[in-house]
Amino acid sequence: MVATGDTEEGVRTLTSVARQADPSQEMLVSSLEAILENLTEAVMVADRNGRVLLRNRAAREILGPASVDPARLLTTRYFDGSLVPPDDYPIAKVLRGEKVQRQELLIEWPDGVRRILQFSGSLVDEGDRLKLAVIAYRDVTDLRRDSERKQDYLRATSHDLRNPLSTLLTQAQILDMETRRKGLIDENRAVQVILRNGLRMKAMLEDFIEFLRIDAGLWSLRPRDTDLVRLINDVVDRYRSSPDWGRISFECAGGECRAEVDAHHVERCLENLLGNACQYSPPDTLVQVSLEAGDGFARIAVKDEGSGIDPKHLPRIFDRFYRGDNSYTRGLGLGLYIVKLIAEGHGGSVSVTSEQGKGSTFTLVLPLRQDRS
């Protein structure tokens, strides 16, 4: 994938290419060469035929001595282990005018050592005069290994934290049904406290795990065709065993509403907005969820009749770790931050209108599927 070319030879070749293209540019190219050579980023430059004219010092450090042709020596693979066809090499793609941005490939040395290189490229296209592919690359092997280790750790820890809590909640739900059936009012009240706090703890844990994933750079959206009506019904349905079940309603004009979203993450948004609506409003008030679609967007609103939000908090309410004065239960201040990240990651948004003493409405806006809007 990378042809040989040391810098001195590169300077000569590149300068002669430039001389043919425009004699007055020779000095400029030589100075550019000196700058390139001292860059910490690995850079190589190839001509219109894919022949490498130059690799700077950092580039040679990654791919070995310039006297050896890496194209013959090295094997380039995708992450599934299959060979990358020459057409998909970064240089070839850039020369075809395709975008190469942080493309990661496995480079294998003859002794079996594999490194992950990340390539970004741009095309210098002066028509017949000059056409060059400029490729910058860096070795991200340690970064990726570190991120895999973090992912493994997070997966294991999340599992270990979620499991006992789920068991606890299941047992509390059984006790809830039993105490109701037997008319044990005081005991049922105690179980309701366990359930309410257990569910809050679960919501905080989910936010915390999500936050750690975001912070570790392990966060990504996987949008798929999704019916938002069904998704909202599913989330609301999870409140069936919660003390708030009776006061949550969901209204939607149409039968279905399709959007290209990451269902898991949009569910997370709704759980956060619904959780807040229930938490920051008295238990005998309504929490209304509604869905409207139009102008290419779906608007999911969660309206409560609670304490409302002091206007002084509104500008920072979506910041991470931000908590209002009414957060007497001491939440993590992460829920709305995560909702905002997810909404914006989909090309949407989240906003709030609130009146103190009357309640708040949070509106999540998500783009609909283009072909159906």
Of the two residues 32 and 201, which places its CB atom closer to ligand ADP in the complex? 201
How near is the Cβ of 257 to ligand ADP at its closest, in Å?
23
Q: Tell me the window of 65-73, 208-216, 325-333, 365-373 that interacts with ligand ADP (CB under 6 A).
A: 325-333
Q: Which residues pair with 110 in a beta bridge?
A: none
Tell me the closest approach of the beta carbon of residue 302 to ligand ADP, in angstroms.
8
Cβ atoms 126, 20 nearer than 8 A = no
Q: Which is nearer to ligand ADP, 12 or 316 (CB)?
A: 316
Nearer to ligand ADP, 263 or 336 (CB): 336
**Exposed, middle or buried: residue 125 (CB in 10 Å: 0-12, 13-18, 19+)?**
middle
Instruction: Choose, by CB under 6 A, the member of 45, 266, 334, 350 that binds ligand ADP.
Output: 334
Which CB, 81 or 315, lies closer to ligand ADP? Answer: 315
Please give the backbone phi and psi of residue 181, each rounded to the nearest 5 degrees, phi first: -60, -40
State which of positions 213-272 bind ligand ADP (CB under 6 A): 272
Site for ligand ADP in 274-303 (CB under 6 A): 276-277, 280
Find the shortest distance in angstroms from Cβ 313 to ligand ADP. Answer: 6
Using CA atoms, how far apart are residues 333 and 322, in angstroms rounded to an integer? Answer: 5
Instruction: Determine if 322 is a binding residue for ligand ADP (CB under 6 A).
Output: yes
Find the binding residues for ligand ADP in span 79-108 (CB under 6 A). none
Q: What size, in residues, is the chain? A: 373
CB of 274 to ligand ADP, least distance (A): 9
**Is residue 118 at the binding interface for ligand ADP, with CB under 6 A as the rule?**
no
59 contacts 42 by C-beta, under 8 angstroms: yes
370 to each of 225, 264, 298, how far by Cα in Å? 11, 21, 12
Tokens of 65: 């001595």
Size of the site for ligand ADP (CB under 6 A): 22
Select from 73, 37, 33, 71 the least CA-distant residue to 52.
71
Cα 272 to Cα 261: distance, rounded to the nearest angstrom: 17
Q: How far is the CB of 175 from ligand ADP (least distance, A)?
A: 27
Closest contact distance (angstroms) between CB of 196 and ligand ADP is 14
Q: Which of 336, 341, 342, 343 binds ligand ADP (CB under 6 A)?
A: 336
- Asked if 317 interacts with ligand ADP (CB under 6 A), we say yes
Q: Are 302 and 286 in contact (CB under 8 A)?
A: no
Instruction: State which of residues 93, 213, 303, 323 lies at the interface with ligand ADP (CB under 6 A).
Output: 323
Q: Which of 122, 290, 327, 349 binds ligand ADP (CB under 6 A)?
A: 327
CB nearer to ligand ADP: pick between 96 and 358: 358
The nearest distance, CB 266 to ligand ADP, in angstroms, is 16
22 within 8 A of 97, measured Cβ to Cβ = no
Q: Of 14-22, 24-32, 63-71, 306-314, which part binds ligand ADP (CB under 6 A)?
A: 306-314
Contact status: 307 vs ligand ADP (CB under 6 A): yes
Shortest spacing between CB 304 and ligand ADP, in angstroms? 5
Min dist CB 168 to ligand ADP, Å, is 20
Residues 341-370 that bind ligand ADP (CB under 6 A): 360
Interface with ligand ADP by CB under 6 A: which residues?
272, 276-277, 280, 304, 306-307, 309, 317, 322-324, 326-327, 331-337, 360
